[in-house]
Amino acid sequence: MKYRTATAALIVTTSLMLTGAGATVATADVTADDKVRANLTGGEDGDPDGRGKFSATIREHSLCYQLTAKNVGATTGGHIHADDGSIVVTVRRTGKHEICLFAVPDAEDTELTLSESELDAIAADPSGYYVDLHSVRYPEGAISGPLK
């Protein structure tokens, strides 16, 4: 016990000597990566047998995701959409692999890229977005689900 107390006192004393008594030491706020997910189903207009899962990790400059699907046949692509239906970015079925989308400046944004402001908006309020996956049989959308 004496060893721990002496070590703690030495650390505090050394810190005060290095920073100056009463000095403020700046520390960065460290937060965990944001996780978002969606359970995808056929809903009213999609594939009644289709099911899928979307899971993503949002980091400072990227969104890394997995998108899996069952019972939808051949897929032709997918998207993350804003609630108003506009396409935010194109995604695709990944199976067990993960795909990372790296944010681009807003001026360089297309349907194939994720802009910095889009990434920030998804992180701030994932419930304002949904994921859908299109198939040959259901070109308007085989399965979809809201981000959580």
Give domain status of residue 23, yes or no: no
Residue 12 belongs to some domain of the structure: no
| Rounded Cα distance, 26 and 105, in Å | 29
Q: Can you list the alpha helix ranges (DSSP code H) found in the chain?
A: 2-19, 116-124
Residue 130 forms part of a structural domain: yes
| 6 domain residue, yes or no | no
Q: What is the C-alpha R_g of the chain?
A: 23
- pLDDT tens-digit readout, 98-129: 999 999 999 999 999 999 999 999 999 999 99
Domain count, the chain: 1
Q: What percent of the chain has pLDDT over 90?
A: 74
In a domain, 3, yes or no: no
Higher pLDDT, 16 or 85: 85
Question: Are 2 and 12 within 8 A, CB to CB?
Answer: no
Residue 60 lies in a domain: yes
13 falls within a domain: no
Lowest mean pLDDT among 26-35, 88-97, 129-138: 26-35
Give, in order, the Cα–Cα distances in Å from 135 to each of 1, 10, 48, 70, 91: 66, 65, 13, 11, 13
Does the pLDDT value for residue 90 go beyond 60?
yes
Q: Does residue 53 surpass a pLDDT of 80?
A: yes
Distances (CA, A) of 125 to 35, 52, 134: 12, 22, 24
What phi, psi does 68 have (nearest 5°)? -120, 155
Give me the pLDDT at residue 18, please. 37
Query: Based on the number of CB atoms within 10 Å of its own CB, is 18 exposed (0-12), middle (13-18) or buried (19 or more)?
Result: exposed
Does some domain include residue 10? no
Sequence-separated (6 or more) residues with CB below 8 Å from residue 16: none
- State percent of the chain over pLDDT 70: 78
* 123: containing domain: 34-146
**Could you tell me if 134 and 67 are in contact, meaning their C-beta atoms sit under 8 angstroms apart?**
no
